[in-house]
Amino acid sequence: MPRRSFADFACSLARTLDVIGDPWTPLILRDIHLGVDTFNEIVRDLGISRALLTARLDLLVREQVVREVPYREHPPRVRYALTERGTQLVPILVALTQWGDRWTGDGEPPLLFTHACGAPLETAVTCTACGEPVGATGIEARPGPGGRHAPGTLVVAERLMGMTD
């Protein structure tokens, strides 16, 4: 059964999941960021089927998250590189990885990340205005200019904006 598209949802998270929400895509993006950037290398690293990888890479190229960089003319071969959209996902992928290290692993992280300054990296979301860490209890949602009563936000719109059919 094909997965439902969230393209018409009035929710940025849902539309984002349409692009990167399947289980393989974050792994593909991680590999490309780490330099595992050819089709065959990604297949070998992840054990993903060639057909599935082709479909995922086609979507990522179409959504401008990844771009193809030719490196051989005969036969034609490309490497995959993250675009600006793709590189903005890297801190999110690192945060998800570190969440997995904490909550789903055996206590031994398979990868350790360091910051450009050389220090071990521990991701954290901070408020750009005050610099304080952000946690679930410190977040409040308010209606945005694109908010509407539509699939994906029917109840949210009712609660935040007083909108109904």
Q: Is residue 77 part of a domain?
A: yes
Q: Is residue 129 part of a domain?
A: no
By residue range, what is the domain housing residue 44? 1-88
Question: Can you tell me the distance from the alpha carbon of 57 to that of 48, in angstroms, rounded to the nearest whole number?
Answer: 12
Q: Is residue 125 part of a domain?
A: no
Closest CA to 111 of 120, 103, 83: 120
Q: Is residue 40 part of a domain?
A: yes
Q: Is residue 151 part of a domain?
A: no
- How many C-alpha atoms does 11 have within 13 Å on its Cβ side? 17
Q: Is residue 74 part of a domain?
A: yes
The parts of the chain modelled with pLDDT lower than 50 are none
Number of domains in the chain: 1
Which tens digit of pLDDT belongs to each residue from 115-158?
999 999 999 999 999 999 999 998 888 877 777 777 777 787 77
Helices 90-103, 24-33: crossing angle, 10 deg rounding: 110
Q: What is the domain-level CATH number for residue 43?
A: 1.10.10.10
